[in-house]
């Protein structure tokens, strides 16, 4: 049976490097870092004081102030990105309420959820007892509130759910949405990821795991340095990206503009370790192979790979091994970059943000850079073309984005230039 083709007809983003797709993409092209000293909370008690935070987001463009107060940060980011995507796709709430919403879904990957809500409500619980817990604490902090609020905002009545596979959540939400559209259950889906975990507990928890960059409080923009010899850990980021996925004939019928084709998805589990990827990259390589097979793409047809590239000592060599296993000799011919060098690691939102970047890379023919890559860690096997420091122009017909999550989750998506 021939698969229903799925295209991308709208995008929205809220990130450390810009609160729209265009602003984000301009920053990525320019190699601009969004990492700085933390302002969301008093970080004086934290040894790590840097992060990739969202700045100057005005949610009242789309949501009443009263309703916004009932949302955690990650939900606000998701709602803002979704509203942008709906407008970008030439749609409105009326379209969904007049029948389109019955066959539209909302899938949002969230790794953690409302950490800041959990922190504040737990403080009141310990200080004053259970009766002083704010009544909306639970609804605000749970991950499914992001897709729930989006569906309510637009009157979307198809399947609405959150996907939680740690740092692969955004990619897996996109992949599950792809499968739902292909199956014929829905014709359209608002899909992506969201996270708002730059909080005292979030930074502290990852710090004691020894996964964060810790020596760059005085030079935040240099902290995220994937594949570089001086990398020491990731930088926590936050934000959201939502893509509107649509069955091709459905998109054509309504005269939608088409950014690119969402051609394939693959997912596997390492079954190796709760926080570390398999050193040989075999699990991730299997996910890439499944995604390429799903897209009916040969490895040598891929020009660009957007790496998970967290800047940790463990991830970068393992992912390089994963790419070599999946692509063989072609791994040395294609270009690879980690845009986390600019955004930081946005956890559950990362895969969606990076998928949106791949769409723009294919559309504009531009390979994003890996900034802060001054000396590749050749001794650890990091010897591929990571587009160091400055992005380059070039034709891109096919891009692949890989995401790896705690628990051994691997999610890979394939984006193709649209050809009718």
One digit per residue, pLDDT tens: the chain, 420 residues? 678 999 999 999 999 999 999 999 999 999 999 999 999 999 999 999 999 999 999 999 999 999 999 999 999 999 999 999 999 999 999 999 999 999 999 999 999 999 999 999 999 999 999 999 999 999 999 999 999 999 999 999 999 999 999 999 999 999 999 999 999 999 999 999 999 999 999 999 999 999 999 999 999 999 999 999 999 999 999 999 999 999 999 999 999 999 999 999 999 999 999 989 999 999 999 999 999 999 999 999 999 999 999 999 999 999 999 999 999 999 999 999 999 999 999 999 999 999 999 999 999 999 999 999 999 999 999 999 999 999 999 999 999 999 999 999 999 999 999 998
Tell me how far apart the alpha carbons of residues 349 and 215 are, in angstroms, rounded to a whole number: 25
Do residue 179 and residue 288 come from a single domain?
Answer: no
**DSSP string of 298-330?**
-GGG--EEE------TTHHHHHHHHHHHHHGGG
Do residue 229 and residue 308 come from a single domain?
Answer: no
- Summarised one tens digit per residue, pLDDT across range 162-182 is 999 999 999 999 999 999 999
Q: Which two tokens stand for residue 96?
A: 């969904």
Do residue 379 and residue 283 come from a single domain?
Answer: yes
Do residue 247 and residue 125 come from a single domain?
Answer: yes
Residue 223 sits at the vertex; the CA angle it makes with 218 and 229, to the nearest 5 degrees, is: 125
Do residue 202 and residue 333 come from a single domain?
Answer: no
Question: How confident is the model at residue 3, as a pLDDT?
Answer: 85
Domain final position from 260, 275, 297: 260
Tell me how far apart the alpha carbons of residues 199 and 176 are, in angstroms, rounded to a whole number: 29
Catalytic residue positions, numbered: 167, 308, 345
Do residue 255 and residue 302 come from a single domain?
Answer: no
Do residue 411 and residue 379 come from a single domain?
Answer: yes
Tell me how far apart the alpha carbons of residues 115 and 285 are, in angstroms, rounded to a whole number: 32
Which whole-number Å values give the CA distances from 162 to 108, 173, 188, in the listed order?
A: 5, 7, 16
Q: Which single residue is written with the structure tokens 């998805």? A: 265
**How many structural domains compose the chain?**
2
Do residue 230 and residue 299 come from a single domain?
Answer: no
Do residue 126 and residue 236 come from a single domain?
Answer: yes
Task: Answer yes or no: is 330 within a domain.
Answer: yes
Question: How confident is the model at residue 193, as a pLDDT?
Answer: 98
Do residue 148 and residue 249 come from a single domain?
Answer: yes
Question: How confident is the model at residue 1, as a pLDDT?
Answer: 60
Secondary structure letter of residue 62 according to DSSP: T
**In terms of residue numbers, what domain contains 67?**
6-260
Question: How confident is the model at residue 241, as a pLDDT?
Answer: 98
- Summarised one tens digit per residue, pLDDT across range 8-33 is 999 999 999 999 999 999 999 999 99
Q: Are 240 and 247 in contact (CB under 8 A)?
A: no
- Summarised one tens digit per residue, pLDDT across range 334-374 is 999 999 999 999 999 999 999 999 999 999 999 999 999 99
- Residue 248 in 3-state DSSP? helix
129 torsion bin: left (phi>0), alpha (psi -120 to 50), beta (else): left
Q: Are 202 and 41 in contact (CB under 8 A)?
A: no
Task: Answer yes or no: is 1 within a domain.
Answer: no
């Amino acid at each position: 049976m021939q698969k229903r083709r799925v295209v991308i007809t709208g995008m929205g983003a809220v990130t450390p490097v810009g609160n729209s797709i265009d602003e984000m993409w301009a920053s990525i092209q320019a190699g601009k870092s969004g990492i700085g000293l933390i302002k969301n909370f008093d970080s004086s008690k934290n040894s790590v004081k840097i992060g990739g935070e969202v700045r100057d987001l005005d949610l009242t463009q789309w949501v009443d102030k009263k309703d916004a107060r009932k949302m955690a940060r990650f939900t606000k980011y998701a709602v803002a990105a979704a509203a942008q995507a709906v407008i970008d796709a030439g749609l409105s709430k009326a379209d969904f309420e007049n029948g389109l919403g019955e066959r539209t879904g909302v899938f949002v990957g969230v790794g953690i959820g409302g950490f800041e809500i959990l922190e504040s409500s737990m403080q009141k619980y310990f200080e004053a007892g259970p009766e002083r817990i704010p009544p909306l604490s639970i609804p605000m902090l749970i991950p499914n509130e992001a897709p729930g609020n989006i569906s309510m905002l637009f009157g979307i009545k198809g399947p609405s759910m959150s996907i939680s596979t740690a740092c692969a959540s955004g990619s897996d939400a996109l992949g599950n949405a792809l499968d739902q559209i292909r199956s014929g259950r829905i014709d359209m889906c608002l899909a992506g990821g969201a996270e708002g975990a730059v909080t005292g507990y979030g930074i502290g928890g990852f710090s004691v795991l020894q996964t964060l960059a810790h020596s760059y409080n005085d030079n935040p923009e240099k902290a995220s340095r994937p594949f570089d010899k001086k990398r020491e850990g990731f930088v926590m980021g936050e934000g959201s990206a939502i893509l509107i996925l649509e069955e091709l004939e459905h998109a054509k019928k309504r005269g939608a503009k088409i950014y690119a084709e969402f051609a394939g998805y693959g997912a596997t589990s390492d079954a190796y370790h709760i926080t570390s990827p398999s050193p040989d990259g075999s699990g991730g390589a299997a996910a890439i192979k499944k995604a390429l097979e799903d897209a009916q793409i040969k490895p040598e047809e891929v020009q660009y790979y957007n790496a998970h590239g967290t800047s940790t000592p463990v991830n970068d060599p393992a992912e390089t091994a994963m790419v070599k296993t999946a692509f063989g000799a072609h791994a040395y011919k294609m270009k690879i970059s980690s845009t986390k060098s600019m955004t930081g690691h946005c956890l559950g939102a990362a895969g969606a943000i990076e998928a949106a970047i791949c769409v723009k890379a294919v559309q504009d023919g531009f390979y994003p850079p890996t900034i802060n890559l001054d000396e590749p860690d050749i001794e650890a096997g990091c010897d591929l073309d990571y587009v160091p420091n400055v992005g380059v122009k070039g034709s891109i017909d096919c891009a692949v984005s890989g995401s790896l999550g705690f628990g051994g989750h691997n999610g890979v998506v394939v984006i193709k230039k649209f050809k009718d």
